[in-house]
């Protein structure tokens, strides 16, 4: 006699099988890599403002949760615990700011540590272990600064930095792959990030690197006597032009494009991309920073102001000494001392596709009635009060000197 299981029972059985498979597969990951008998540190280098993930590659089978620790220097007594002891802390990356403390910029997921918008101060040792202080795996993280980064525009025949060679070590740049073209259908740009690395036979043996005798310049494996020259070499970014076609769904229909051309010729607004648009008001003279939704520093990101392309060859930070509108190395668009002419719609491209619009309206500062609780009023009262006190002190000193001169005959006549 044939028996049929209800649909819900079958689904429950499938869930149990999949759950067991996941547990077994995860267990196999840790069983394939045995923890080293002597704790080593894997070298990893990133550019500031990037987000990186550090997996806990090994742990004993009896350990069900891990704790992540941070040490600035090896053997330091100042150790920061980066996780609750359940190892389950999760952070919403949308609420994270670059200037916040590392304790507010990390997350724990499946035994891995994720650090959002890394800063130079996050460089150091990250250790995976237990609540009791037993360490299984370690990383030597080097976050290199974007300040004063070296930029080379390939289209202008500019070249990256030459290698620096000494008797006991040499410095060079290791480049990542070129990003995707940041725009499609029109001329775009590609970036290539390069980080500083050192080659030497005198690196600390406790640090493990992908290539023998090669580590990042900010690594703790670099001997102290070599650290000063390595700090003089900066990270690099190379930029070149590119052109890539759009996918069919990203190209406007021919009829729509023809109509937009006619409207443009008549002096009306041309066709605008159908992307989610955010509206924002900004006062004249203030500062504004616009972020592309879902973009990270390593992504290919581009900015347009309506039909004007804001190419990095002109708008990248540091290209000109006095720049009011610029794009930083984290792909953010900065507008300083906002003017009325800055109003309009800004479009953001991510990984070669236009993803968002930003409609900016610039308004003049409206005068409002001041109260005693306004910060400007409090500052003015303090400034006036301090000036009054100083004038009063000077007035009293002058009259005391005049009184002493009359009574004691100061200064004495010869």
Residues 6+ apart with CB under 8 A from 381: 372
**Domain for residue 6, yes or no?**
no
**Domain for residue 15, yes or no?**
no
Same domain for 156 and 140, yes or no, is no
pTM: 0.66
pLDDT digits (tens, 9 = 90+) for 68-98: 888 887 766 678 887 654 444 444 444 444 4
Q: Which residues pair with 106 in a beta bridge?
A: 115
pLDDT digits (tens, 9 = 90+) for 134-169: 888 899 999 999 888 889 999 998 888 888 888 899
Same domain for 97 and 178, yes or no, is no
Task: State what percent of residues in the chain have pLDDT above 70.
Answer: 75
Same domain for 120 and 164, yes or no, is no
Same domain for 282 and 349, yes or no, is yes
Same domain for 197 and 289, yes or no, is no
**Domain for residue 293, yes or no?**
yes
Same domain for 65 and 109, yes or no, is yes
**Domain for residue 4, yes or no?**
no
pLDDT digits (tens, 9 = 90+) for 165-185: 888 999 999 999 999 999 999
Same domain for 282 and 339, yes or no, is yes
pLDDT digits (tens, 9 = 90+) for 344-357: 999 999 999 999 99
CATH number of the domain where residue 100 is located:
2.60.40.10
**Domain for residue 358, yes or no?**
yes
pLDDT at 7: 44
Same domain for 322 and 230, yes or no, is no
Same domain for 195 and 224, yes or no, is yes
pLDDT digits (tens, 9 = 90+) for 98-113: 444 556 678 887 788 8
Question: From the CB of residue 1, how many other CB atoms can be counted at a distance below 10 Å?
Answer: 2
pLDDT at 19: 39
Q: Domain range holding 198?
A: 150-242
**Domain for residue 32, yes or no?**
no
Same domain for 139 and 173, yes or no, is no
Same domain for 224 and 184, yes or no, is yes
Q: Which of 96, 120, 144 is the last residue of a domain?
A: 144
pLDDT band at 410 (very low <50, low <70, confident <90, very high): low
Question: From the CB of residue 353, how many other CB atoms can be counted at a distance below 10 Å?
Answer: 17
pLDDT at 108: 80
């Amino acid at each position: 006699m044939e028996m049929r299981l209800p649909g819900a029972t079958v689904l429950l059985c499938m869930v149990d099988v999949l759950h067991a498979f996941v547990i077994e597969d995860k267990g196999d990951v840790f069983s394939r890599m045995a923890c080293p008998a002597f704790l080593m540190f894997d070298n990893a280098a990133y550019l500031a403002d990037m987000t990186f993930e550090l997996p806990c590659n090994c742990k004993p089978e009896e350990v069900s949760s891990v704790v992540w620790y941070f040490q600035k220097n090896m053997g330091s007594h100042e150790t920061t615990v980066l996780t609750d002891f359940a190892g389950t802390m999760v952070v919403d990356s949308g609420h994270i700011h670059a200037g916040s403390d590392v304790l507010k910029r990390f997350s724990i997921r499946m035994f891995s540590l994720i650090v959002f918008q890394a800063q130079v101060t996050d460089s150091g040792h990250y250790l995976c272990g237990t609540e009791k202080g037993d360490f299984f795996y370690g990383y030597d993280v080097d976050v290199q600064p974007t300040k004063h980064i070296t930029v080379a525009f390939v289209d202008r025949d500019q070249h990256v930095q030459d290698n620096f060679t000494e008797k006991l070590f040499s410095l060079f740049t290791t480049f990542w792959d070129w990003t995707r073209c940041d725009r499609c259908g029109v001329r775009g740009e590609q970036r290539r990030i390069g980080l500083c690395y050192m080659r030497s036979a005198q690196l600390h043996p406790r640090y493990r690197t992908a290539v023998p005798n090669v580590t990042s310049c900010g690594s703790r494996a670099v001997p102290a006597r070599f650290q000063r020259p390595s700090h003089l070499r900066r990270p690099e970014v190379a930029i070149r032009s590119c052109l890539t076609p759009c996918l069919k769904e990203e190209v406007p229909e021919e009829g729509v494009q023809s109509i937009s051309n006619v409207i443009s010729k008549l002096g009306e607004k041309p066709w605008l991309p159908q992307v989610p648009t955010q509206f924002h008001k900004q006062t004249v003279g203030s500062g504004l920073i616009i972020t592309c939704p879902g973009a990270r520093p390593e992504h290919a990101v581009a900015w347009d102001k309506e039909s004007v392309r804001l190419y990095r060859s002109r708008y990248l930070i540091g290209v000109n000494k006095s720049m009011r509108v610029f794009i930083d190395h984290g792909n953010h668009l900065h507008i300083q001392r906002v003017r009325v002419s800055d109003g309009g719609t800004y479009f953001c491209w991510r990984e070669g596709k236009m993803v968002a619009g930003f409609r900016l309206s610039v308004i003049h500062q409206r005068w409002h009635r001041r109260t005693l609780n306004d910060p400007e009023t409090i500052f003015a009262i303090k400034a006036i009060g301090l000036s009054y006190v100083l004038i009063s002190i000077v007035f009293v000193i002058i009259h005391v000197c005049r009184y002493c001169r009359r009574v004691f005959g100061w200064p004495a006549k010869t």
